[in-house]
Amino acid sequence: MDQGGCQMSGGGGGRGEGPEQTGMITLEDLESFSEDQLSDDNNLDEEGKPMEDDQLLHYWQDVARGHQVEVSEEMAEPIQQLTSNNQGRGNRELIPFTLLARKEKCGEVLWEKRQYKKGHWACVTMREETYEQSICYGFMKLMRYICQQNSLDYYLGMTLPIVTVVRTNENHSVISNDVTVAYFLPAEHQAQPPQPHDNEIAIEIWPATTVYTRPFTGPTNEVTIVNQINAMAEHLDSSGVNGVNDSFIVAGYTNPAHINRQNEIWFLERP
């Protein structure tokens, strides 16, 4: 697949115990830009009441400034919609996968091999000044698409994971600020995907994909990602696994503000 475009240069998913498993992911270092964050205590005011729309916007703006990201006033409505429509995990559609293989050592999962089906994704490739800015602005574009800025003019529903395709230099020591952020269309929209108003968002059909994945905990900053990529490469090499791509996925399974954040690094198997 074309690593420079929006199509999957990696895949997203979750964890489970058998075929057709599901999972969740959030964006890295984005304390206020996660669907989990929108339904926890950080959205309560000093009296313990839910924040008003302007309070939510100001909260997002305050957190975003710490990432050198500006949240515009036009994000107020998408923030409110995502907040009100995601009060609990039951409102979120999870993406299924089939577990093909698992390598463990002393109870530790070294890697898993998973299969994802063909499907429609909305994706946007960003090239901001920094890696983190690219992810933040890409996600906000997808938020607006999910929250009414589409040909149906209504909230489409949240699916998990939101995937972030990470690209590095040849020796995997530096992460590019050129990233792709993508959203899997809910099942009811797979046959006829709503079209985005934003022409930078593309609706892509990603083919069935096989990925190798390894879990890790903690923050997902650039240093951590580079370390996890190299660790995963070593585990696959020692297992005799060859034929993976040079683009990667960072997948977070818990609220990015959580102290023991659960994440995975993903490698895409070459066709």
Residue predicted with more confidence, 156 or 77: 156
For residue 185, is pLDDT > 70?
yes
Name the average pLDDT for the chain: 74
Closest CA to 58 of 46, 70, 40: 70
DSSP 3-state of 206: strand
In the chain, domain spans: 89-269
| Burial of 93: CB neighbours in 10 Å, binned 0-12, 13-18, 19+ | middle
Q: How far is CA 34 from CA 22, 40, 245, 254, 261, in A?
A: 18, 10, 28, 9, 13
For residue 54, is pLDDT > 90?
no
Q: For residue 50, what pLDDT is reported?
A: 45
For residue 46, is pLDDT > 70?
no
Q: Which two tokens stand for residue 202?
A: 């593309």
Q: For residue 21, what pLDDT is reported?
A: 39
Q: For residue 249, what pLDDT is reported?
A: 87
Q: What is the pLDDT of residues 140-155, one digit of tens each?
A: 899 889 988 899 998 9
The predicted model gives 126-134 an average pLDDT of 81
Compute the Cα dihedral for 167, 168, 171, 173 and give only its sign: negative
Question: Could you tell me which CATH number the domain at 89-269 has?
Answer: 3.20.80.10
How many Å apart are CA 180 and CA 128, to the nearest integer?
A: 11
pTM of the model: 0.71
